[in-house]
Amino acid sequence: MEEKIRPSGPGRRAVVAAASVVPGLRSIAFRLRRQRISRRYLRGEGLEIGALHRPLPIPRGVSVRYVDRMDVADLRAHYPELRDEQLVEVDIIDNGETLGSQPDASVDFIIANHFIEHTEDPIGALANQLRVVRPGGILYLAVPDRRKTFDADREPQPLDHIVRDHRGGPAWSRPIHQEEWARLVEKVVPKEIPARVQWLEDHDYSIHFHVWDPDEFRLLLEFARDQEHLPFAIEQLARNDHEFIAILRRT
Ligand SMILES: C[S@@+](CC[C@H](N)C(=O)[O-])C[C@H]1O[C@@H](n2cnc3c(N)ncnc32)[C@H](O)[C@@H]1O
């Protein structure tokens, strides 16, 4: 289970204990799978959102600018558990859910690995990423499989929930997710949960707001395409160890 980013604070020990160590070979296979799919689909110039310590390997001749919600110094403070890792230099500080700094149809691809689960409005995030990608371009999304990470004790959120986050705005569900994160991921004892939720809010801590397995994620994609009329085709949905990789082509 290669999920290095873990919450700091009272729940950290439990989360660390829940994560198993990845044997070397498994880790190499994981990286090669990401790389093979990258070689197959990525051309031209693009963006990677939230690369952090694990930028996607890209084919020769392809160029990427790196987007994150904060600079490297702030990322280091946010993720103290990555102190021994090299972090990618951030080229563009922006909210990856809205990409307000990026013009329409301005890149050939967007990579967003282990990012969509951090979004409060996943349908809105997909819509904005598709807005920025040129027709024919690619969204490369690796998503942790909730059954195989520290999210294993969480229930999947119903599709209705994500639709409500999109149509009415996600403010209503933010404290619900923070409570769920404290209780089921960090395993904070009940009497300390309110204080932990307040800490998460005060630090704008980047929790997994939503979690999926591959079938649940496909349902979300089909809903976004067929009911929200987002312009994309599903090229591939491939399992890769504790994650799955969705390749969407902008139509
Ligand atoms: C779990 S890390 C992903 C690391 C790496 N891409 C991987 O595959 O493991 C999530 C990244 O997304 C970034 N992130 C979270 N929310 C964001 C937002 N709203 N806008 C931009 N970046 C965001 C975080 O700062 C972090 O760099």
Range of the domain at 186: 12-250
Residue 217 three-state SS? helix
CATH of the domain at 97: 3.40.50.150
- What mean pLDDT is predicted for residues 190-217? 98
> Is 120 inside any structural domain?
yes
CA of 115 to the centre of ligand 1 (A): 5
Q: What's residue 59's pLDDT?
A: 96
Q: What are the residue ranges of helices labelled H in the chain? A: 12-18, 24-41, 72-78, 122-132, 159-168, 174-180, 193-202, 214-226
Residue 112 near ligand 1, beta carbon < 6 Å: no
Assigned domain for 3 exists:
no
Indicate the residue type of 151: D
Report the alpha-carbon distance of residue 81 to residue 62 in Å, rounded: 31
Residue 1 located in a structural domain: no
Query: Model confidence at 5, in pLDDT bands (50, 70, 90)?
Result: low
When divided into structural domains, the chain yields a total of: 1
149 Cα: distance to centroid of ligand 1 (angstroms): 16
Whole-model pTM?
Answer: 0.92
Angle at 248 between CA 243 and CA 251, to 5 degrees: 175
> Which pLDDT score is estimated for 15?
46
Q: What angle do CA 142, 146, 148 make, to 5 degrees?
A: 95
The pLDDT of residue 107 is 98
Q: Is the CB of 97 under 6 A from ligand 1?
A: yes
Q: Is the pLDDT of residue 108 over 80?
A: yes
* Residue 97 CA to ligand 1 centre (angstroms): 11
Asked whether residue 17 is assigned to any structural domain, the reply reads yes
Residue at 212 is within a domain:
yes
Q: What is the pLDDT of residue 95?
A: 98
Average pLDDT rounded to a whole number, residues 44-64: 98
Which ligand 1 atom is at minimum distance from the Cα of 70? 25
How far is the centre of ligand 1, averaged over its atoms, from the C-alpha of 68 (Å)? 7
Of the chain, the percentage scoring pLDDT greater than 70 comes to: 91
Ligand 1 test: best mutation among 52, 82, 200, 209, most atoms within 8 Å of CB?
A: 52
Q: What is the pLDDT of residue 17?
A: 46
Strand partners, 142: 245
What 8-state DSSP symbol labels residue 117? G
pLDDT for the residue numbered 92? 98
Would you say residue 4 lies in a domain? no
Q: What is the mean pLDDT of residues 3-28?
A: 60
Task: List Cβ neighbours of 109 (8 Å cut-off, separation of 6 or more).
Answer: 41, 42, 43, 44, 46, 47, 133, 137, 138, 139, 140
CA dist 70 and 68 (Å) reads: 5
User: Is 96's C-beta closer than 6 angstroms to any atom of ligand 1?
Assistant: yes
| pLDDT tens by residue, 123-150 | 999 999 999 999 999 999 999 999 999 9
Mutate to test the pocket of ligand 1, among 15, 69, 203 (most ligand atoms within 8 A of CB): 69
Assigned domain for 25 exists: yes
Gap from CA of 67 to ligand 1 centroid (Å): 9
Averaged pLDDT of the chain:
93
Asked whether residue 5 is assigned to any structural domain, the reply reads no
Residue 19, pLDDT above cutoff 50 = no
Does 10 have pLDDT greater than 60? Answer: no
Contacts of 227 (CB under 8 A, 6+ apart): none
